Amino acid sequence: MSPRPPLRIAVLVSGSGSNLQAIIDAIAAGSLDARIVGVISDRPGVRALERATAAGIPAITVDYHAMADRDAFGTALLGELQGLEPQLVVLAGFMRILPAGLVESYRGRMLNVHPSLLPLYPGLHTYRRALEAGDAWHGTTVHFVTPELDAGPAIIQYRVRIRPADTEDSLRERVQRGEHHVYPLAIQWLASGRVAFRDGIVWREGRPATGPETIDEKE
């Protein structure tokens, strides 16, 4: 049986692109069997586009603020994605809520990473909310994207124990270190067929998953 060809992925970004860099590095190291066919930003001039160009990856801007409205942006973005023909769309610090029609076009083929242990704290300011709530744990979740915000089925979570001296910045730094590990890992699981999206849920090793895999920070 011939080996699988590298998974074609398109990455959507809005900012510095640290998760994009983690994916680029994992591919270069041979731990992720994928090829990034394009990086698309909703903002011009961001660091993530520079990272893509430095790695020889097509860097594309679909400027949200240059569009007439959200629907026009969604149409333009969908057109760029269709031109790239990705097998998987990866949201890496992408800060726009995507139109439901675009999400449905890539149902089961679109991933996001969210800095909380979903279903806790969808949306913004997750580090602050976890600290204010006095939580024992915080972390990040890689999940399939559905039209509902941060509500798609989870593949993997990385957890860190909240320390008494933690601030938003220190907690973010620790969570992001883990995020840069588990996001490429989740993509590799899809590339290898270990994980799939079927019947609206995550399947792992050919069986319905009972919940996300969990990796805890090493103390």
Backbone angles phi, psi at 65, to 5 degrees: -75, -10
Catalytic residues: 114
| Amino acid making up residue 208 | P
Instruction: Give me the helices (H) in 8-149, please.
Output: 18-29, 47-54, 70-84, 100-105, 126-133
- Give the Cα-Cα-Cα angle 79, 84, 86 (nearest 5 degrees): 110
Distance CA 90, CA 12 (A): 6
Q: How far is CA 154 from the centre of its chain?
A: 11
- Give the Cα-Cα-Cα angle 136, 137, 143 (nearest 5 degrees): 155
Residues 184 and 113 sit within 8 Å (Cβ to Cβ): no
Distance CA 196, CA 68 (A): 36
Q: For residue 10, what are the CA distances in angstroms to 44, 73, 88?
A: 17, 17, 7
